[in-house]
Structure 1
Amino acid sequence: MTRTEKVAAVEVLKEKFSNTEFFYLTDASALSVEKINSLRTQLFEKGIEMQVVKNTLARKAMEALPNASSYEGLFDALKGPTAILFTSVANAPARVIKEFRGKAERPFIKAAYIDTAIYHGDDQIQVLADLKSKEELLGDLLGLLQSPIQTVMGGLLSGGNNIMGLLKALEEREG
């Protein structure tokens, strides 16, 4: 790789890191070509981009960003073969990896960057897979906000029936 190509690669990575709130550093080095292609297909279907990178270029790209200090915790994970998974949904890569590998050891998660939080190690896969997406959190919030309104409306509607029933009973009593 020439110096010009390295500079261009660092610029591309800087752009991706600055435009992505969530990314995973993974190792899929021991997989066969067939399995790698299958993994890439599954990731692509979920809107996740997989890019194999040189660790030094990834580190230089992170160090060149204005908020470089927030990435320092990832530098230890930039050893050995590394593939970066860029995503717009925080838990999607963990779910795909967990489903893909089943009982196998690869691919494994070296680290994950989730909106300034850093998760280290493959033992965090369940925590990462259980994270709720923005859409799921909004749905939960709407459900919580909707519940009291439905209770009040139900009470008002049933209260109207009770009043009508009482009036009818009083009317029948007088008659």
Structure 2
Amino acid sequence: MDRASKEELVAELRQSFTSAGVVVVTHYRGLTVAESTQLRIGMREVGASFKVTKNTLARLALQGTAFEGIIPLFNGPTAIAVSSDPVAAAKATMKFAKTNEKLVVLGGGIIGQTLDANGIKALADLPSLDELRGKLIGVLQAPASRIVGVLQAPGGQLARVLKAYAEKDQAA
């Protein structure tokens, strides 16, 4: 690889780091091409990407970014998972790592904070942005449905009382 292509790769990596919400660093030793392809497809489905990187180039690209604290993780055969959603890449990586022991999560970072493997696992256990939006909408809609229920309750109670009096008169 010549110097110009290395500089281009560093610039591309730096751009992905600056636009990322989370970076997950993994060891991928022993993954077959089919397994790697399956992992990449899973990443694309959630809006993340998975790249095998050269450690020295990744270290250069990380300098001056919010993820500079993860530079020590780049030893051995490393690959990175990157996404703008702070949970997507971690979730997809941990899901794949559960079924395939060849992918080892080393750690990563979320804008300005370095995480170890347990931190990435905890991040993966959080609900996604879409799930949080759904829960928020549910919380916002709940008071409205309760108000409707409270407003309808007196009318229903009155109808039941009148029905009970009518049945009592018919029985007598």
Identify the TM-score tier after normalising by the shorter chain: 0.7 to 0.9
Please give the residue correspondences for 1:146-157 in structure 2 after superposition, counting only pairs within 5 Å. 146-157=141-152
The corresponding residue for 1:173 is none
Deviation at 1:143, TM superposition (A): 1.7
**Residues 1:115 and 1:150: Cα distance change in structure 2 (over 3 Å):** farther
Assess if the C-alpha contact under 8 Å between 1:17 and 1:62 holds in 2: yes
Assess if the C-alpha contact under 8 Å between 2:48 and 2:83 holds in 1: yes
- Taking structure 1 as the reference length, what is the TM-score of the superposition? 0.78
Structure 2 residue runs without a partner (length 5+): 166-172
Assess if the C-alpha contact under 8 Å between 2:49 and 2:89 holds in 1: no
Please give the residue correspondences for 1:1-175 in structure 2 after superposition, counting only pairs within 5 Å. 1-64=1-64, 68=65, 70-102=66-98, 104-121=100-117, 123-124=118-119, 126-162=121-157
Question: Partners in 1 of 2:97 and 2:51 — Cα distance?
Answer: 19
Structure 1 residue runs without a partner (length 5+): 171-175
How many residues are aligned here? 168
**Residues 1:156 and 1:117: Cα distance change in structure 2 (over 3 Å):** farther
Assess if the C-alpha contact under 8 Å between 2:26 and 2:104 holds in 1: yes
- Taking structure 2 as the reference length, what is the TM-score of the superposition? 0.79
* Percent of paired sites with the same residue: 33
Question: Partners in 1 of 2:97 and 2:15 — Cα distance?
Answer: 30
Assess if the C-alpha contact under 8 Å between 1:90 and 1:131 holds in 2: no
Partner AA of 1:75 in structure 2: I
Assess if the C-alpha contact under 8 Å between 1:97 and 1:108 holds in 2: no
